[in-house]
Copies of this chain bind each other. A is one copy, B any other.
Amino acid sequence: MATKSRPDRRVQRTKDSLHFALMSLIVEKSYDKITVQDLIDRANIGRSTFYAHYETKDDLLLSELDRLTADIERHLADEPSSTAILPSLGVFRHAAENHREIKALLGSKGSDLVQRTALATFTRRAEAVIDEREGDGKNGNLPADARAAFVAGALLALLTWWLDNDRPYPPETMANVYAQSLAPT
DSSP class of A's interface residues: helix, strand, loop or mixed? Answer: helix
Q: How many A residues are at the interface, by size bracket?
A: 20 to 34
A153 and B151: CB pair below 8 A?
Answer: no
Residues on B with beta carbons closer than 8 Å to the beta carbon of A174: 146
A50 within 8 A of B: no
Contact mask for chain A residues 134-176; partner B; CB cutoff 8 A; 1 contact, 0 none: 0000000011011101111110111011100100110001101
Q: Chain A: residues with CB nearer than 8 A to chain B?
A: 108, 112, 116, 119, 142-143, 145-147, 149-154, 156-158, 160-162, 165, 168-169, 173-174, 176-178, 180-184
Selected A-B contacts with CB under 8 Å, 28 pairs: A108-B116, A112-B112, A142-B181, A143-B168, A143-B173, A145-B165, A146-B169, A146-B173, A146-B174, A146-B177, A147-B177, A147-B181, A149-B158, A149-B162, A150-B154, A150-B157, A150-B158, A151-B154, A153-B153, A153-B156, A153-B161, A154-B154, A154-B157, A156-B157, A180-B183, A181-B182, A181-B183, A182-B183
